[in-house]
Amino acid sequence: MNRVDGRQKVTGAAKYAAEYELPNLAYGVLVGSTITKGRLTSIDTKTAERAPGVLAVITHLNAPKAPGTKPTGKDPSQPQTVGNALQVFMDDKIRFNDQPIAVVVANTLERARFAARLVKAQYAKEKHQTNLEANKANAFLPTQAKKNPKSPAADYQRGQVDAYKTGALKLESEYVIPTEVHHPMELQAITAHWEAPDRLTLYDKTQGTMATRRDFARQWGLPEENVKVIATYVGGAFGNALHSWPHESAAIIAAKVVNRPVRLMLTREQMFTMVGYRPHTWQKIGMSATPDGKITAITHESIGQTSTYEEFVEATLGQTKMMYQSPNLTTRYRLAALDVGSPIWMRGPGEATGAFALESAMDEMAFLLNIDPMEFRLRNYTDQDPEKNRPWSSKFLKECYQAGAQRVGWNKRQLKPGALRDGEWFIGYGMGVGTFGAHRGSSKASAQLLPNGTVLLQSAVTDIGPGTGTAMTQIAADTLGLAPEKIRFEWGNSDFAQAPTQGGSAIVNTVGPAVQEACMALKDKLRELAATSNSAFTSAKKEDVAFADNYLTLSGNSTARATYADLVRQAGGTAVTVESKPSGEGQKYSMYSFSVHFAEVRVHELTGEVRVSKLVSCADAGTIINEKTAGNQMKGGAVGGIGMALMEHAIIDDRFGRYVTKDLADYHVPVQADSPAIEVFFVNQPDPYVNKLGTKGIGEIATIGVAPAIANAVFNATGKRVRELPITPDKLV
């Protein structure tokens, strides 16, 4: 089935956050600080205010203070919400370079840009810290772990502490992931409109309409129903739209000050500083094993950077705790607070970072033991979760190993690095495993059968690109026995039925069952209507009534027939809203999706250029609702993994605390020429416990494990082990 929104997107009919035309629309442009830490001593806005078309210049000196605003950094351990994160225009303190210090509002975008350059600020500088390596000694245990020893961020122990140190065969290696920045095609944007003093509408690039509504209703002291958030189309988001950011608050403040709608879109340069990133992270793994390839101990330590005003915690060590059999396992997670903006979850949050270290170490140990890396993983395969001591709800990772190895040509791989060549190119093969929780939350869906025989479904969920609208349409069509063309699924509006934020590979798992149950409720209503209008259905058993092609039919009675449309017209319409909640099975089973990625690379012997010549991604993700959109997910995640492995690196000049990479000319992301034809394989076996659909989630495992697969393939090609990403030619020559 093709994407239901495909035509709108390719023809330009789809409207994004910065494309809504409202009467009397004004434009906002942010002015950022030019220092990294200190205070504003003065800010001169007079010249900007006198510029043509300027309606207002707003700073901390004249900005209205939202009633629900809390001082920035009051409790940095609290979850990231607009109430606890950086508050724009609250005070004169500078916490990171390019922090918004003013917003200029004008009647055209060009005039706002021009006037923004006229704002002049003076600062009292303070010494800043932006270098993770230099601040590792100051790393601390996250506050949430101090408060709760069972927190995922707390130190974890199974068996003996650091037992690898006494192992006969052991390794100890350090791994580094640099800062990586979200760069979807659509820049972060918002159009804010105060329709009344107590009623706010936001056309926003967000991954969660209801979370954004909740944040800004709280900030402005409004009832949630008085805030509407619309995000029908989102032009890509890898986690950057999971948070409520300063630019959104700035646009809302500006709209209130000028009393007209305000549109604000970040520049590509501001995407580096204002909407989060994958944090620069140092990791160390110690591992020991027996000569026959059984792991005896693992210690995995990590230090990730965060901001000084907010503690950002992610699951860097999660995969290590549960992926492989190890009687002794130790993990330690720490944070280093730097004078930078807050990080945020980036596709494969934490797990992608941790998998680079774990899966590289697995390859290193296999080489040390002279064992094939896949065989080494099979010898340490887990048949139940060793962390939680529970059975898996389902696990078909061995099937992924087999399918991927066959498709990539793993049998050609040599144990000795550098053994395969094609002229001036070394050829190597590598693999990397990924996992992510098969999460399911609560969700609602509304369904209405219209008099023309079509069904209207509505959900507040967003669709950031994975094909959520398509999957929900297909679930509804399958449940109701209707052609997909008869289903209209509307999404991306906080006024619709409650749905979670799109992230964490949980949307099909969560919203899908709600759609399914809403359609089942519609069928129950149709049975009731048929029973009151057609005597043949009055005494019929539920299981004898069939639904197909817009008709209700009765088994054993070929004359009993009722059309959906006739029943609805007689009843004057029918609509239901259903809430679906997870069962208690999550307490009995460990629920995860699994993936394995196989890479074939070519490395030029003279230049050190790395080309990924083949990539095979295999997933155990439960039932696959739509192979086309699921395949798109896997391919997109794999491309992200190529960028992670070979090119993405946001570089700060620590003398100034400012990014040197500030556009797509200097910050490289994969393009078509960098990406081979990616082959995707799905086991497509339903999980019996996550939900009735049998789904488990794809979005994160598409990226987790790709970077180490490529790094391991580079080692197999060259014999050079690169432990600090990205793998650039200077590290191989």
The yes-or-no verdict on residue 205 having pLDDT over 90 is yes
Domain of 193: which CATH number?
3.90.1170.50
Closest by CA to 430, choosing from 631, 613, 285, 170, is: 613
Same domain, 227 and 373: no
Residue 245 inside a domain? The answer is yes
Mean pLDDT of the chain: 94
Q: What is the pLDDT of residue 724?
A: 98
Confidence of residue 284 (pLDDT cuts 50, 70, 90): very high
Per the residue annotation, which of 133, 485, 700, 724 is the catalytic one?
700
Tokens 């809504």 map to which residue? 20
Q: What is the pLDDT of residue 72?
A: 58
Same domain, 255 and 282: no
The yes-or-no verdict on residue 201 having pLDDT over 90 is yes
Same domain, 490 and 551: yes
For 156-268, where are the E strands, in sequence order?
156-158, 169-177, 180-181, 189-196, 199-204, 227-230, 262-265
Same domain, 573 and 702: no
Same domain, 513 and 397: no
Same domain, 460 and 502: yes
From residue 111, alpha-carbon distances to 6, 27, 56, 249, 253 in Å are: 35, 9, 12, 21, 19
Q: What is the pLDDT of residue 548?
A: 80
Q: What is the pLDDT of residue 556?
A: 78
Per-residue pLDDT, averaged over 193-208, amounts to 97
Q: Which domain holds residue 537?
A: 443-581
Which of 581, 602, 621 finishes a domain?
A: 581
The 10s digit of each residue's pLDDT in 495-517 is: 999 999 999 999 999 999 999 99
The 10s digit of each residue's pLDDT in 615-641 is: 999 999 999 999 999 999 999 999 999
Same domain, 601 and 694: yes
Same domain, 567 and 482: yes
Same domain, 526 and 560: yes
How many angstroms separate the CA atoms of 81 and 195, rounded?
24
Looking at residue 647, the DSSP 8-state letter turns out to be T
How many angstroms separate the CA atoms of 722 and 392, rounded?
34
Same domain, 459 and 479: yes
Closest by CA to 616, choosing from 643, 593, 644, 595, is: 595
Alpha carbon 585 to chain centroid distance?
25
The yes-or-no verdict on residue 570 having pLDDT over 90 is no
Per-residue pLDDT, averaged over 591-604, amounts to 98
Same domain, 54 and 171: no
Domain of 163: which CATH number?
3.30.365.10
Take residue 208 and report the two structure tokens written for it. Answer: 């969660």
Is residue 700 annotated as a catalytic residue, yes or no?
A: yes
The 10s digit of each residue's pLDDT in 27-40 is: 999 999 999 999 99
Closest by CA to 637, choosing from 431, 398, 349, 396, is: 349
How many angstroms separate the CA atoms of 453 and 458, rounded?
17
Residue 132 inside a domain? The answer is no
Q: What is the pLDDT of residue 83?
A: 42
Residue 332 inside a domain? The answer is yes
Which of 272, 287, 316 finishes a domain?
A: 272
Take residue 83 and report the two structure tokens written for it. Answer: 């109430």
Residue 78 inside a domain? The answer is yes
Per-residue pLDDT, averaged over 443-448, amounts to 93
Number of domains in the chain: 3
Residue 486 inside a domain? The answer is yes
The yes-or-no verdict on residue 672 having pLDDT over 70 is yes
Q: What is the pLDDT of residue 262?
A: 98
The yes-or-no verdict on residue 599 having pLDDT over 70 is yes
Confidence of residue 219 (pLDDT cuts 50, 70, 90): very high
How many angstroms separate the CA atoms of 412 and 409, rounded?
6
Which of 581, 613, 647 finishes a domain?
A: 581
Work out the burial of residue 424: count CB atoms within 10 Å of its CB; fewer than 13 is exposed, 13-18 middle, 19 or more buried: exposed
Per-residue pLDDT, averaged over 147-165, amounts to 96
Q: What is the pLDDT of residue 73?
A: 56
How many angstroms separate the CA atoms of 77 and 575, rounded?
43
Residue 727 inside a domain? The answer is yes
